Amino acid sequence: MKQDLQVAFFGLGIMGTGMANRLLGAGFPLTVYNRNADKARALVSAGAKVAGSPREAASGADLIVSMVADDGASRAIWTGEHGALAGVKPGTTLVECSTLSPVWVRELAGLAAKAGCELLDAPVTGSKSHAAGGELNFLVGGNAAALERARPALSVMGRTATHIGPTGSGALLKLINNFLCGAQLASLAEAMALIERGGLDAGRAMEALTNGAPGSPLVKIIAARAASGDVTPNFPLRLMAKDLKYAAEEAARNGLPLETAVTALGVLNRALQAGRGDEDMWVIVDECRKAKRDRPITAS
Q: Tell me, what's the pLDDT at 300?
A: 43
CA dist., res. 300 & res. 114, Å (int): 64
Q: What is the mean pLDDT of residues 266-292?
A: 92
Its pTM stands at 0.94
Cα angle for residues 276, 279, 202 (degrees, 5° grid): 90
Q: Tell me, what's the pLDDT at 287?
A: 93
Q: What is the mean pLDDT of residues 197-210?
A: 96
| Size of the chain, expressed as the number of residues it contains | 300
Model confidence pLDDT, tens digit, residues 33-69: 999 989 999 999 999 999 999 999 999 999 999 999 9
Q: Tell me, what's the pLDDT at 4?
A: 85
Going by pLDDT thresholds of 50, 70 and 90, the confidence category of residue 289 is confident
Catalytic residue among 174, 242, 245, 290: 174
**Radius of gyration for the chain, computed over Cα atoms and rounded to the nearest angstrom:** 21
Q: What is the mean pLDDT of residues 10-34?
A: 97
In sequence order, the 6+-apart residues with CB closer than 8 A to the CB of 34 are 10, 11, 12, 16, 40
Q: Are 22 and 15 in contact (CB under 8 A)?
A: no
Q: Are 63 and 92 in contact (CB under 8 A)?
A: yes
Establish whether 174 is a catalytic residue: yes
Which H or E element spans position 184? helix 169-197
CA dist., res. 150 & res. 163, Å (int): 12
Give the domain ranges of the chain.
Answer: 7-165, 172-294
Q: Tell me, what's the pLDDT at 219?
A: 96
Q: What is the mean pLDDT of residues 89-99?
A: 98
Q: Tell me, what's the pLDDT at 2?
A: 62
Quick one: 7-165 is in which CATH superfamily?
Answer: NAD(P)-binding Rossmann-like Domain (3.40.50.720)
| DSSP state, residue 280 | B
Is pLDDT above 80 for 201? yes
What type of residue sits at position 287? E
CA dist., res. 24 & res. 121, Å (int): 22
CA dist., res. 196 & res. 182, Å (int): 21
Is pLDDT above 90 for 296? no
Is pLDDT above 60 for 295? no
Architecture of domain 172-294: Orthogonal Bundle (1.10)
Q: What is the mean pLDDT of residues 127-141?
A: 97
Model confidence pLDDT, tens digit, residues 161-174: 999 999 999 999 99
Q: Tell me, what's the pLDDT at 294?
A: 61
Q: Is 181 helix (H, G, I), strand (E, B) or coil?
A: helix
